[in-house]
């Protein structure tokens, strides 16, 4: 909202400093500061309120060291993250940008699904919470909406590079405006709808989902949505559940999400800037630069929440936060056409998810074959396996974060290693 206000003041009254709101970097920095302020200042008040209302976590006895001491710790802390994310976004982003509108929908929708789950656990005293099938339905709806808008909305386009080789120009001798014009020449003038995405580590690294339907005939591109939308649903559902499973130790899901979000912020910045896109020889996606404001508000919200969520946690995010965080991260990656980076960038979430799937499958398989179910891990998700082995919780969290940072760095260098 402030973007539109200060743009008007700058044009109508030439108010000094109002032009700063034209810069994404300035608005992203302000969004980060405001989200930190909200999560730190109002987070404490929310924690005190939840304690006063005795809205605490009921922890099941799983035989883990220090586990039962967490019983009674306030939950639903995801409300802090969502509030610290939504308010700065509404203040500093172009809220009429289609990508921002989509992210606001994903945040509110999945946050609501998670809130219902926490509400049932806390107020209805039902440890199982919202039935799993309803969570999946909510995630599928989020993926269906995101996929449909990305595919059918005419405002969501890419600009591909002109295939012909051009004579290099020494941009150091050009003005900033002339540099942008020079880079602009290297992309096709007309933006176009596309289901292309980026393949990491490969030169000329774009893959079109529509190609998978080429066998159907010359009109195969008309039916690309049959591949694209289910892919979006699958990614959002998988990563949302992965984040939910990762939220089992103090600061683990929050810290991991902050690292992933910061990486996506950098990728969104270069993908939505024609100069960077040309220099890095990557896909230029108009209007995605505005996502940087949203993403850095998310980073600020996660870091601020980590102040209270780090060991020993004063509050848990609950499903209100974890389901939303996973869905947000997945949707962001899809919007900037980097979803094939998810196995690397979100490696922690993937590993947590797979550990549960493998554990359940192997247990059922061995029980069917031998009559006695066996386990690969001491306990799933994966972080509890190491906890069962005797590792202190802070050490597990720190090592997972170090791995997450390493995976983030690998994701970033894929921009140049091709």
3 state SS for 362-404: HHHHHHHHHCCCCCCCCCCCHHHHHHHCCCCHHHHHHHHHHHH
CA distances from 14 to 1, 8, 164 (A): 18, 9, 43
What is the SS3 assignment for 411?
A: helix
* Dihedral sign (CA 262, 398, 343, 329): negative
Token couple for 262? 């910061």
Mean pLDDT, range 66-89, rounded to an integer: 86
Residue in the block written with tokens 């810069």: 23
> Secondary structure of the chain: what % helix, strand, coil (to 5)?
70, 5, 30
Residue 266, in any domain of the structure: yes
Q: What is the pLDDT of residue 116?
A: 95
pLDDT > 70? residue 77: yes
N-to-C CA span, the chain: 40
Residue 89, in any domain of the structure: yes
CA-closest candidate to residue 99, choices 20, 141, 33, 158: 158
Is-contact 217 249, C-beta < 8 A?
no
Q: Enter the pTM of the model.
A: 0.92
Average pLDDT, the chain: 90
181 confidence band (pLDDT: 50, 70, 90): low
**170-179, 210-219, 255-264, 382-391 — which is least confidently predicted?**
170-179
**24-38, 162-176, 215-229 — which is least confidently predicted?**
162-176
Residue 78, in any domain of the structure: no
Q: What is the pLDDT of residue 124?
A: 84
pLDDT > 50? residue 169: no
* Residue predicted with more confidence, 400 or 188: 400
**Counting beta carbons within 10 angstroms of the beta carbon of residue 311, is it exposed (0 to 12), middle (13 to 18) or buried (19 or more)?**
middle
Number of domains composing the chain: 1
pLDDT digits (tens, 9 = 90+) for 100-113: 999 999 999 999 99
Residue 48, in any domain of the structure: yes
Residue 211, in any domain of the structure: no
56 confidence band (pLDDT: 50, 70, 90): confident
**Crossing angle of the two packed helices 252-271 and 291-309, in degrees rounded to 10:** 160
Is-contact 80 101, C-beta < 8 A?
no
Residue 359, in any domain of the structure: yes
Residue 174, in any domain of the structure: no
Q: What is the pLDDT of residue 164?
A: 53
CA-closest candidate to residue 341, choices 248, 251, 271, 247: 271
**Distance between CA atoms of 211 and 225, rounded to whole angstroms?**
12
Mean pLDDT, range 311-330, rounded to an integer: 94
Range of the domain at 251: 2-59+83-158+222-413
Is-contact 88 28, C-beta < 8 A?
no
**Distance between CA atoms of 291 and 94, rounded to whole angstroms?**
9
Structure letter (DSSP) for residue 41: I
Q: What is the pLDDT of residue 279?
A: 87
Q: What is the pLDDT of residue 61?
A: 57
pLDDT > 70? residue 176: no
Residue 18, in any domain of the structure: yes
pLDDT > 80? residue 378: yes
CA distances from 394 to 86, 112, 387, 397, 398 (A): 30, 30, 10, 5, 6
Q: What is the pLDDT of residue 92?
A: 96
Token couple for 135? 């969570």
What is the SS3 assignment for 196?
A: strand
């Amino acid at each position: 909202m402030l973007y539109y206000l200060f743009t008007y003041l700058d044009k109508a009254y030439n108010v000094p400093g109002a032009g700063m709101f034209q810069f994404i970097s300035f608005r992203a920095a302000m969004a980060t500061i405001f989200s930190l302020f909200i999560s730190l200042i109002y987070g404490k008040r929310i924690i005190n309120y939840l304690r006063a209302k005795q809205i605490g976590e009921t922890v099941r006895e799983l035989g883990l060291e220090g586990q039962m001491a967490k019983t009674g710790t306030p939950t639903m802390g995801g409300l802090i993250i969502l509030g610290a994310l939504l308010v700065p976004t509404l203040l500093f982003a172009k809220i009429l940008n289609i990508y921002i509108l989509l992210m606001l929908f994903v945040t509110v929708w999945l946050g609501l699904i998670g809130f219902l789950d926490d509400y049932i656990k806390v107020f209805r005293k039902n440890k199982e919470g919202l039935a799993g099938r309803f969570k999946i339905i909510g995630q599928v709806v989020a993926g269906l909406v995101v996929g449909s808008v990305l595919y059918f909305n005419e405002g969501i386009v890419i600009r591909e590079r002109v295939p012909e080789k051009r004579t290099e120009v020494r941009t150091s001798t050009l003005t900033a405006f002339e540099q942008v014009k020079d880079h602009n020449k290297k992309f096709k003038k007309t933006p176009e709808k596309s289901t292309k995405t980026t393949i990491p580590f490969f030169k000329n690294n774009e893959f079109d989902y529509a190609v998978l339907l080429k066998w159907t005939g010359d009109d195969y591109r008309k039916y690309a949505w049959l591949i694209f939308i289910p892919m979006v649903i699958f990614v959002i559902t998988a990563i949302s559940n992965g984040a939910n499973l990762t939220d089992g130790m103090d600061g683990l899901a929050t810290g991991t999400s902050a690292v992933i979000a910061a990486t996506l912020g950098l990728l969104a910045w270069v993908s939505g800037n024609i100069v960077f896109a040309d220099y890095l020889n990557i896909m230029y996606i108009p209007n995605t630069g505005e996502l940087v404001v949203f993403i850095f508000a998310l980073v600020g919200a996660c870091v601020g929440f980590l102040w209270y969520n780090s060991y020993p946690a004063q509050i848990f995010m609950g499903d209100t936060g974890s389901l939303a965080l996973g869905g947000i991260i997945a949707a962001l990656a899809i919007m900037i056409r980097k979803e094939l980076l998810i196995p690397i960038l979100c490696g922690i979430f993937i590993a947590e998810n797979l550990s549960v799937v493998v554990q359940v499958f192997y247990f059922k398989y061995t029980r069917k074959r031998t009559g006695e179910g066996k386990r690969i891990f001491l306990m799933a998700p994966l972080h509890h396996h190491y906890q069962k082995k005797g590792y202190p919780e802070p050490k597990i969290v720190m090592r997972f974060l170090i791995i997450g940072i390493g995976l983030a760095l690998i994701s970033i260098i894929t921009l140049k290693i091709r």
